[in-house]
């Protein structure tokens, strides 16, 4: 049996780890100087799993990663033909899993 103070301290530590993990996951895809760019979905999912393991909050956070593909038509220029370029961008969001 734990004391009330120990239980409150454990809950406070868990909430702190959850908020730190949530901030780390929300900043995972933010581009910064010197930070590696995660360009494919598998790399992002691996980084999410590593972050959840690091903060010991597996199953307590729900993380969604969405890939959005944007196509842009490029006009012809000199001896280059017109073409269509597609770019993929990734977005992630983390929230607490309130259901046990």
- Whole-model pTM: value is 0.74
Number of domains in the chain: 1
With 90 as the cut, is the pLDDT of residue 75 above it?
A: yes
% pLDDT > 90, the chain? 45
Task: Tell me which residue has tokens 């049996």.
Answer: 1
Predicted confidence (pLDDT) per residue in 34-71, tens digit? 988 888 889 999 999 999 999 999 989 988 888 888 99
Which domain range does residue 55 map to?
4-96
pLDDT confidence tier of residue 95, bands split at 50, 70 and 90: confident
Q: Which two tokens stand for residue 82?
A: 């017109």
Cα pseudo-dihedral 48, 49, 50, 53, rounded to 10: 120
Q: Which two tokens stand for residue 38?
A: 């995660």
Query: In whole angstroms, what is the distance from residue 87 CA to residue 69 CA?
Result: 6
3-state helix, strand, coil in the chain (%, to 5): 35, 30, 35
């Amino acid at each position: 049996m734990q004391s009330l103070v120990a239980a409150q301290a454990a809950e406070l530590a868990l909430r702190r780890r959850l908020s730190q993990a949530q901030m780390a996951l929300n900043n995972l895809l933010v581009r910064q100087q010197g930070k590696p760019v995660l360009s494919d979905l598998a790399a992002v999912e691996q980084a999410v799993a590593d972050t959840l393991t690091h903060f010991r909050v597996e199953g307590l956070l729900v993380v969604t990663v969405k890939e959005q593909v944007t196509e842009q038509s490029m006009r012809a220029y000199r001896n280059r033909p017109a073409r269509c370029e597609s770019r993929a961008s990734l977005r992630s969001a983390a929230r607490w899993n309130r259901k046990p």
